[in-house]
Amino acid sequence: MKEVSSLLNYRESIKVVDATLRDGGLCNDFYFSDEFVKKLYNTNIEAGVDYMEMGYRASKKVFDESKFGKWKFCSDDHIREIVGENDTKLKLAIMADIGRHDKDDFDQRVNSPVDLVRVAAYIHQMPEAIDMIEDAAKKGYETSCNIMAISNAQKEDIEVALDMLASTPVDCIYIVDSFGSIYPEQMARIADLYVNSAIKHNKKVGVHAHNNQQLAFANTIECCGDGVDWLDATYLSMGRGAGNCAMELLLGFLKNPKYNVFPVYRFIEEEMIKLKESGIKWGYDVQYLITGQLNQHPRTAIQFTKDDRKDYAEFYKEIIG
């Protein structure tokens, strides 16, 4: 049982990472207006958020540039159009998906507004992920690694991946509940595995949760109480499918006075509600619950949503067949 002090006090080591543009961009193909991005940037500064993920650095050889907004590709020039020289305490991050990025698209850190490169990889992609991490670190970036879909991985394989990452310059290793299928008591054991490994090798641990079973916030604060320091969240929970841990919930929970939830509420009122009303869909619904309970990728539930279906029982039969 956790000490009450772990819930009523705060750790200086905790970092809040806003993933709205990146994970939320999966809901609207990254077509955010510059005005929206600028307001989100300013809100993160006011709220005391530590990192803002600006989007993906995706390969234009893999993705058709005409079919996505610019935050799918997230060039240094596009970032500077929003932040200038970013003379603030807010650090900027981008994500590179192994197999969907070009390593040569990253300039030296001294020439870039980006502080942190987040590498996303499945366990079988660890060698490529390590190559990417080492390249980014040599160029001067902070680095993190999201080990994807761990609910489908064997504990022994996760341990091997953690050992492999321990020998790299990676700064933070992420627990990622890709399918929103993990329960808090399971998350506690997973956090223990990651944190024990991280302590041995002077690494940090982060958590990125999905809300298929309405547990993204619960799993995030479970990890926070278990020594996980980097906490991902999105405004109004905007993210792929069922969405993520809500920023307004997380900042309302954290006790560090550097965080201020009021500008978050204002941004939700002025900007996020408009996105919802424009027809962009995300958030908890029964189809996402079903894929979460079955520990499946939400792609079928996303298509169910796009087709405006409501036949949940038939959908359940389809995906267990």
Q: What is the pLDDT of residue 133?
A: 97
Q: What is the pLDDT of residue 1?
A: 52
Q: What is the pLDDT of residue 102?
A: 84
> CB neighbours of 173 closer than 8 A, spacing ≥ 6?
144, 145, 147, 162, 165, 194, 197, 198, 203, 204, 205, 206
pLDDT in tens, 203-249: 999 999 999 999 999 999 999 999 999 999 999 999 999 999 999 99
Q: What is the pLDDT of residue 104?
A: 83
Question: 61 φ, ψ to 5°?
Answer: -80, -25
The pair of structure tokens assigned to 225 is 């109480």
Nearest alpha carbon to residue 144 among 228, 223, 72, 34: 228
The type of residue at 279 is G
The parts of the chain modelled with pLDDT lower than 50 are none
Handedness of CA 131, 76, 250, 270 (dihedral sign): negative
The type of residue at 85 is E
Helix (H, G, I), strand (E, B) or coil at 165: helix
The Cα 92–Cα 142 span in angstroms is 10
The Cα 301–Cα 287 span in angstroms is 5
- Entry pTM: 0.96
Helix (H, G, I), strand (E, B) or coil at 18: strand
Q: What is the pLDDT of residue 127?
A: 96
Q: What is the pLDDT of residue 6?
A: 59
Beta bridge partners of 243: none
